[in-house]
Amino acid sequence: MREAKDALVLLLAGGIGSRLNILVGHRAKPAVPFGGLYRIIDFSLSNVMNSGLTRVGVLTQYKPLSLMRHIQTGEAWDFTGRTRGIKILPPRTGEKDSDWYKGTADAIRQNIDFIRDNQSEQVVILSGDHIYQMDFDDMISYHREKNAGVTIGMMVVPKSEIHQFGAGIVNDENRIVDWEEKPKEPKTNLASMGIYVFDTEYLLKALSGDREEIDFGMHIIPRAIEEKQVYAYPFTGIGGMLALFNPIGMQIWIFFVPILEFHRKSGGYDPIQRQMDEPWIGDPLVLCKAVPCSPL
């Protein structure tokens, strides 16, 4: 029995993505073309569809027109119907207590009415600019089994990269007992993917407090660890990428790299290591072997 049907999805898709340079000159990062007719956001939307989630809010901000044209009514992901749908949620500028989205938590706070209008036991919060494959149904089931207030999708990254992420210190049961936001001297290499499952009641409570708390990693998660059970959900799908630029053909190739889950004695994770002999290239629906290529 699938657990996901009762959950509401809020997809954060308003980022600038300045590291993509000229590719984001006319559109938000989630709307950047990928593999021809696809866009980066298609990975997240396909994951949502394949997980059995049917109610989605897409929070836009930076240059949203290209993204809105691409999503349209959501028919491409079967989000049309009496009990399903997708809604674009721009900032409520000009309204009392509303403004441009100042951070991840502030963006969700400005759409509390959407959460209340779409009653659900859990709210799944995602980023629209990740390239990965994941079954959110499994994550929601894990969240309910743990009786968690918050569950965070997490993955192991090199310690040299952890300063770019929120980092969780977990016990033997994968409960997060401490949190570091973009640490300069990290205690762990377990990084947040920016994928959250919140109990709806707790999310509404957490957002009803100080309006200066605008970011999940900086403000909401550290407080949640003190107030509720917060668990790490180990990411075991396909993800991570190397972007290779071919200046002759003016093409960008995205190659998936395997995620290595290293065993940590106190980490609570199984010692799993997946290996791949050849790189893979994929679109939101199909994975196929890629032509060997060397990075610049």
- The DSSP result for 151-213, as a single string, is EEEEEE--GGGGGGSEEEEE-TT-BEEEEEES-SS-S--EEEEEEEEEEHHHHHHHHTS-TT-
Same domain, 216 and 268: no
pTM: 0.76
- Verify that 155 and 279 share a domain, yes or no: no
Do 215 and 251 have their domain in common? Answer: no
Q: Which has the higher per-residue pLDDT, 254 or 85?
A: 85
Dihedral angle computed from the Cα positions of residues 261, 265, 268 and 269, in that order, rounded to the nearest 10 degrees? 20
Task: Return the closest-CA partner of residue 4 out of 126, 100, 180, 171.
Answer: 126
Burial class (CB within 10 angstroms; exposed 0-12, middle 13-18, buried 19+) of 7? buried
190 and 272 in a common domain = no
Q: Which two tokens stand for residue 42?
A: 């298609």
Out of 6-10, 23-27, 149-153, 269-273, pick the least confident: 269-273
CA distance 243 to 129: 14
Closest CA to 270 of 142, 174, 144, 160: 174
| Domain identity same for 173 and 258 | no
Q: Could you give the maximum distance between any two Cα atoms of the chain, in Å? A: 56
Pair 216, 245 in one domain: no
pLDDT digits (tens, 9 = 90+) for 225-264: 999 999 999 987 766 433 333 333 333 333 333 333 333 3
Q: Is the distance from CB of 57 to CB of 8 less than 8 angstroms?
A: yes
DSSP 8-state assignment for residue 81: B
Average model confidence (pLDDT) for the chain? 76
- Provide φ and ψ at 156, rounded to 5°: -80, 135
CB neighbour burial string for 39-64, b if at least 16 within 10 angstroms, e if fewer = bbbbbbbbbbbbbbbbbbbbbbbbbb
**At 7, which amino acid appears?**
A
Count of domains in the chain?
2
Neighbouring residues of 174: CB distance < 8 A, sequence distance ≥ 6: 231, 232, 233, 234, 267, 268, 269
Listed range (86-95, 121-130, 187-196) with the worst mean pLDDT: 86-95
* SS3 state at 110: coil
Containing 267, the helix (H) or strand (E) segment is none
Give 56's strand partners.
Answer: 9, 86
SS3 content of the chain, % helix, strand, coil (to 5): 25, 30, 45
- Average pLDDT (7-27) is 70
**Which is nearest to 262 in space by CA: 116, 157, 134?**
157
CA-nearest of 218, 172, 217, 169 to 189 is 169
Residues 160 and 53 in one domain: yes
Give the pLDDT mean for 70-90: 87
Q: Are residues 13 and 137 in the same domain?
A: yes
Asked if the model's pLDDT at residue 33 lies above 70, the reply is: yes
pLDDT tens per residue across span 133-183:
899 999 999 999 999 999 999 998 888 888 889 999 999 999 999 999 988
Question: Do 250 and 169 share a domain, yes or no?
Answer: no
Domain that holds residue 247: 241-289
| pLDDT band at residue 40 using 50, 70 and 90 as cut-offs | confident
Is residue 294 assigned to a domain?
no
